[in-house]
Structure 1
């Protein structure tokens, strides 16, 4: 692995590094409560007897009293990662949560080992094009000991270059990452283009940033072509096949795993309606409309809708032709409703974030559009920052019967925890 260290260290210990500022701050009682709630859920799922439950809780309680930390067994880790996916309110693809492949990488803490594992992760996830959902879980945070972690939001990302005329070419979401990569010696192999794959970054235990170059052929890309209109191919659009999310923190039973990259497979609108069409990303709708001979004038106010539909058709066609797993937004919405009904039959409420779950294309055409949702932020879960989606994460007791005084107590305690965690 070729790697390069940045010349700059993280902020001083007085203010905390970039990861410390993102991690949730739990009191000892909160950590103990989350651990107990998680272990109860795990033992209910596997059918452990009373003696086994009591013995395991005594072990965890002793570890928490001694070091404010405990180690999950491999079985607990796998169960927690899958339940975290099931609980994540912003994911529409949770129907397959039980099929998540969990790779226990605890003990692999050096950047070289992490880079080697991620290279294997990409190969295994893509396989022959039938994408497998995999998560690789590395060392957790132990007290003040911060492990090595992946700083990049995703392993695969496209660069964004400044043009001579003052514009931008590439994925505008990655302007800062591109500047960081260039400052650390990276440059595209040929002339800068809209689809130059960036290296990704690791922070080691000392907080130093390390640049990791993608191995040639590690990332499989799909060229985007329309099944009927040849003009779209002239734009040279393409996208990678496996989205490996590496910028989220996995939290299980009060223990945070800041390096837990995972992947699923794409929904067509993620690429066509968001990555290619968003004004803050590639902003390609005008070029797509012109390539498909869709008139952009006052007589056709729906030209954007036509261009979006045809661009989605092209993405689905191209991935299907390449033999790479992808799902259209209609199928994904139906799969979510299947998941929702299964959870209801299992007497579990479903956390949902309407803004993230309703597809950006033809939203009102699905039952999910009319579904009443509430995000009650259960744990285990994934989060990005303690001040945003991590602020309200805590155990959820609403699935079981509880007397009214206990319900009132839960509500008061929940509000107190949120108030306490806020940065006043």
Structure 2
């Protein structure tokens, strides 16, 4: 069972934000008909319920514009053709987790990465929507020992400790690339843990095009970055769970995740293997090692036929995006994150719904839902 304290009422939808978005949508889609009739309908709906429901076309348009304008849409992604999965009817944690797994499966697409957005139930004045704690659907555990040293990804050491206290059991043989569980929180269930099936997560073992010893480092990375803790806001309506993906920029893996001292910090090991002088930063050993890490990432993803782009192509894309993007007011569709959500993704706290206390394990609900989908 779940004990639930009284939750604070959420605000009604801002009518101005709704009207601004609807005019924007109808300007882009004149085939949708006169905007006046739709505005009247939405005003009545907000007056009666405090919110309104987007049509499937409005939702798809808003999600695509939000991804385009956010800057997360990497180079080459045809944003107008992004697939939007409309799953607004789902509010239970197990169902949300099962569809996150399906999102990961569809987006991976055997390496030919398919950009997707999956939208779950919105916040309403009477019923808040679910949220996903994880920063991305696939993240690696960080195990802190008694001395404070971390095996795995130090960025998620606190999150690892938090989910372990919640009941997650790490593998018997702990490694540097163990997958963290998915944490889905709802107002009526509290935080729930779900293991993402191993066969859904495609990973790329990293090798170097010239350095034969590089494979001895035992490095790998997952194929698709599905950002899962940002809320999607369209026309005043907030969707707190709306995971989305494009594909990786190589430097996100090579520089930020593998070379960085705050992450896997393997630049020094690579530099040592290269015979570089690491006694002083003035030799630029770190820069040279990071270049080789990025070369290995791009080479390995290309060899595995997994979609990826490099930071030079991405820089040109970002410059074009900065020149062309709309800078109008804050009511445009957007993916947003706040400090509490970011903290939750790294530290495993605080819960969104402090009054919800889970007192019943979820058991095999996710596995059962996945079996049902595949049957």
Equivalent of residue 290 in structure 1, options 261, 272, 296: 272
Separation in 1, partners of 2:76, 2:228: 18
Q: 1:186 to 1:263 in 2, by over 3 A?
A: same
Equivalent of residue 229 in structure 1, options 207, 211, 229: 211
| Alpha-carbon contact 2:133-2:341 (below 8 Å) kept | no
Q: Report the CA distance between 1:127 and its aligned residue.
A: 0.9
Q: Does 1:36 align with 2:19?
A: yes
Of 133-142 and 107-116, deviating more is 107-116
Equivalent of residue 38 in structure 2, options 40, 44, 56: 56
Separation in 1, partners of 2:30, 2:310: 37
Q: Corresponding residue for 2:359? A: none
Q: Corresponding residue for 1:185? A: 167
Report the 3-state secondary structure (helix = DSSP H, G, I; strand = E; otherwise coil) of the residue aligned with 2:137: coil
Report the 3-state secondary structure (helix = DSSP H, G, I; strand = E; otherwise coil) of the residue aligned with 1:306: helix
Report the 3-state secondary structure (helix = DSSP H, G, I; strand = E; otherwise coil) of the residue aligned with 2:278: coil
Q: Corresponding residue for 1:385? A: 338
| Alpha-carbon contact 2:17-2:331 (below 8 Å) kept | no
Report the 3-state secondary structure (helix = DSSP H, G, I; strand = E; otherwise coil) of the residue aligned with 2:111: coil
Separation in 2, partners of 1:166, 1:231: 29
Separation in 1, partners of 2:29, 2:22: 11
Matches within 5 A, 1:198-209: 198-209=180-191
Alignment TM-score, normalising by the size of structure 2:
0.84
Q: Corresponding residue for 2:49? A: 67
Q: Corresponding residue for 1:196? A: 178
Which string of whole-angstrom CA distances, capped at 9 and with x for unpartnered residues, describes residues 280-319 of structure 1?
2212211121233333234962111101111100000011
| Alpha-carbon contact 2:141-2:157 (below 8 Å) kept | yes
Matches within 5 A, 1:371-410: 377=330, 379-385=332-338
Q: 1:229 to 1:190 in 2, by over 3 A?
A: farther
**Number of matched residues?**
342
Q: Report the CA distance between 1:180 and its aligned residue.
A: 2.1
| Alpha-carbon contact 2:21-2:331 (below 8 Å) kept | no
Separation in 2, partners of 1:326, 1:94: 10
| Alpha-carbon contact 1:295-1:303 (below 8 Å) kept | yes
Q: Corresponding residue for 1:276? A: 258
Q: 1:271 to 1:215 in 2, by over 3 A?
A: same
Structure 1, unpaired ranges of 5+: 344-348, 352-374, 390-424
Q: Report the CA distance between 1:34 and its aligned residue.
A: 0.6
| Alpha-carbon contact 1:141-1:147 (below 8 Å) kept | yes
Q: 1:13 to 1:152 in 2, by over 3 A?
A: farther
Which string of whole-angstrom CA distances, capped at 9 and with x for unpartnered residues, describes residues 30-60 of structure 1?
x1111011001100001147x6211111000
Separation in 1, partners of 2:60, 2:253: 30
Q: Report the CA distance between 1:387 and its aligned residue.
A: 8.3
Of 76-85 and 115-124, deviating more is 115-124
Separation in 2, partners of 1:162, 1:383: 31
| Alpha-carbon contact 2:20-2:235 (below 8 Å) kept | yes
Which runs of structure 1 show a deviation greater than 4 angstroms over 4 or more consecutive aligned residues?
25-28, 89-95, 338-341, 375-378, 386-389
Matches within 5 A, 1:109-128: 109-128=91-110
Greater relative contact order (CA < 8 Å, ≥ 6 in sequence): 2
Of 112-121 and 193-202, deviating more is 112-121
Q: Report the CA distance between 1:338 and its aligned residue.
A: 4.3
Structure 2, unpaired ranges of 5+: 343-375
Report the 3-state secondary structure (helix = DSSP H, G, I; strand = E; otherwise coil) of the residue aligned with 2:84: strand
Q: Report the CA distance between 1:82 and its aligned residue.
A: 0.4
Equivalent of residue 325 in structure 1, options 289, 307, 315: 307
Separation in 2, partners of 1:299, 1:244: 35
Of 319-328 and 185-194, deviating more is 185-194
Q: Corresponding residue for 1:316? A: 298
Separation in 1, partners of 2:264, 2:331: 34
Q: Report the CA distance between 1:321 and its aligned residue.
A: 0.5
Q: 1:182 to 1:33 in 2, by over 3 A?
A: same
Q: Corresponding residue for 2:133? A: 151
Q: 1:379 to 1:210 in 2, by over 3 A?
A: same
Report the 3-state secondary structure (helix = DSSP H, G, I; strand = E; otherwise coil) of the residue aligned with 2:198: coil
